[in-house]
């Protein structure tokens, strides 16, 4: 994924999506068209792109790659903040490792301007482990993610 983020060539021609000559699944085409529309809006029109059920660093990098494909970059001010939402107990426990992976990608670090927003969810982790365990998992995950962030400031 890092090589694609650094590559100057596009992943595909946008006109092929518009004309549907690629034979994409309708849901995939719809998602790509959402990126196209978002890329045509003024930067202040959109806030963060929240990734619900984020599991891995590649979830975040895939969104960054699609933004790049549609010309949404930090350089032109159109890059949306990409915010992973760690919700399940496993995702909370793995979140520091995922941030560490993200922060090891040079092009990613260069695009976020030293700021990473993260969300933690309560309801899915509470369903997984119970309320007390979920609260503890959120606390420890947040502390660990903050420590990872401090290492990369």
Query: pLDDT 10s per residue in the chain (153 long)?
Result: 677 777 778 788 888 888 888 888 999 999 999 999 999 998 888 889 999 999 999 999 999 999 999 999 888 889 999 999 999 999 999 999 999 999 999 889 988 988 999 999 877 777 878 888 888 999 999 999 999 999 987
pLDDT of residue 120: 94
Sign of CA dihedral 70, 79, 64, 105: positive
What are the residues whose beta carbons fall under 8 Å from the beta carbon of 128, sequence distance 6 or more?
88, 89, 90, 134
Q: Domain containing 102: what range?
A: 2-151
* Number of compact structural domains in the chain: 1
Q: Can you tell me the distance from the alpha carbon of 36 to that of 33, in angstroms, rounded to the nearest whole number?
A: 5
pLDDT of residue 148: 96
pLDDT of residue 13: 83
């Amino acid at each position: 994924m890092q090589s694609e983020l650094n590559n100057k060539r596009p992943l595909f021609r946008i006109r092929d999506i518009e004309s549907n000559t690629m034979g994409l699944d309708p849901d995939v085409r719809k998602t790509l068209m959402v990126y196209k529309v978002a890329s045509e809006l003024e930067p202040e029109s959109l806030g963060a792109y929240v990734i619900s059920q984020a599991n891995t660093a590649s979830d975040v990098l895939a969104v960054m790659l699609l933004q790049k494909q549609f010309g949404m970059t930090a350089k032109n001010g159109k890059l949306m903040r990409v915010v992973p939402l760690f919700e399940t107990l496993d995702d909370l426990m793995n979140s520091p490792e995922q941030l560490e992976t993200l922060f090891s990608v040079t092009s990613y670090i260069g695009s976020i301007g030293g700021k990473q927003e993260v969300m933690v969810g309560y309801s899915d982790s509470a369903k997984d482990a119970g309320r007390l365990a979920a609260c503890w998992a959120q606390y420890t995950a947040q502390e660990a993610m903050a420590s990872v962030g401090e290492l990369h400031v």
